[in-house]
């Protein structure tokens, strides 16, 4: 059996309190089911709990059918790997109830000083629209942003909270094709 080459994902993993991270976790074999209301609710609750314990400070979070995107600042107590491991372990039973398991690893990107959390937040918000999971005039129920004022683009949304149609095709930050 060939060995997995996931050590490369860990080799350059850097965990620094206060740093903003963009994280994507996928289900094993990209199997759909995360948007089951019970599963998505548990995933969001766990994010809120990590925020409450000051292990993360969520900027934006969304659940897609087979993956999730999470943009957050890392708290002082746990490393990035420990935060994600805790979140995955605590969500394990909800996923099992839907016949799902997490993929072993996850993708993470620490935002550099010249990178804007705003653009990453917009990517997280637009992901279900770009994936064609709902029309532009509908709201994605699995999107979470605890502090609306943290993302300036929120003020540019339509009155019903949906994105302007032109955003869906045109506003994809460079370098964010990973994880889709």
The CATH number given to whatever domain includes residue 127 is 3.30.70.1290
Residue-wise pLDDT tens digits, 1-22? 444 454 444 545 678 999 999 9
In a domain, 134, yes or no: yes
Residue-wise pLDDT tens digits, 87-143? 999 999 999 999 999 999 999 999 999 999 999 999 999 999 999 999 888 999 999
In a domain, 4, yes or no: no
Residue 177: per-residue pLDDT: 46
Residue-wise pLDDT tens digits, 15-54? 899 999 999 999 999 999 999 999 999 999 999 999 999 9
Q: 167 pLDDT exceeds 70?
A: yes
Question: Helix 37-52 crosses helix 80-97 at what angle (to 10 degrees)?
Answer: 150
Residue 170 banded pLDDT, cuts 50, 70, 90 = low
In a domain, 155, yes or no: yes
Residue 56: per-residue pLDDT: 98
**β-bridge pairing 20-26 and 107-110:** antiparallel
In a domain, 111, yes or no: yes
Length reported for the chain: 180
Long-range CB contacts (within 8 A, 24+) of 91-99: 91/39, 91/42, 91/43, 91/46, 94/38, 94/39, 94/42, 94/43, 95/27, 95/33, 95/34, 95/39, 97/38, 97/39, 98/33, 98/34, 98/36, 98/38, 98/39, 99/31, 99/33
Residue 4: per-residue pLDDT: 47
Residue 136: per-residue pLDDT: 86
In a domain, 176, yes or no: no
Q: 165 pLDDT exceeds 90?
A: no
Residue-wise pLDDT tens digits, 54-75? 999 999 999 999 999 999 999 9
Q: Are 122 and 153 in contact (CB under 8 A)?
A: yes
In a domain, 30, yes or no: yes
pTM of the full structure: 0.88
Residue 7: per-residue pLDDT: 46
In a domain, 20, yes or no: yes
In a domain, 90, yes or no: yes
**β-bridge pairing 56-63 and 67-74:** antiparallel
- In whole angstroms, give the CA distance from residue 180 to residue 176: 8
Q: How many domains does the chain have?
A: 1
Structural domain for 166, as ranges:
16-170
């Amino acid at each position: 059996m060939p060995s997995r080459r996931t050590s490369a994902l860990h080799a350059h993993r850097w965990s620094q309190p206060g740093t903003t991270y963009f994280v994507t976790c996928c289900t094993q074999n990209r199997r759909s089911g995360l948007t089951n209301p019970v599963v998505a609710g548990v995933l969001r609750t766990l994010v809120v709990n990590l925020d409450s314990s000051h292990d993360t400070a969520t900027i934006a979070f969304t659940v897609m059918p087979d993956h999730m995107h999470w943009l957050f600042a890392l708290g002082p107590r746990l490393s990035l790997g420990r935060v994600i491991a805790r979140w995955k372990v605590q969500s394990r039973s909800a996923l099992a109830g839907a016949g799902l398991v997490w993929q072993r690893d996850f993708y993470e990107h620490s935002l550099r000083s010249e990178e804007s959390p705003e653009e990453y937040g917009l990517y997280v918000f637009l992901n279900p629209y770009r994936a064609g999971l709902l029309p532009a005039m509908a709201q994605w129920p699995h999107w979470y942003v605890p502090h609306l004022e943290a993302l300036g683009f929120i003020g540019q949304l339509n009155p019903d909270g949906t994105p302007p149609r032109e955003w869906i095709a045109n506003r994809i930050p460079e370098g964010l094709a990973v994880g889709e």
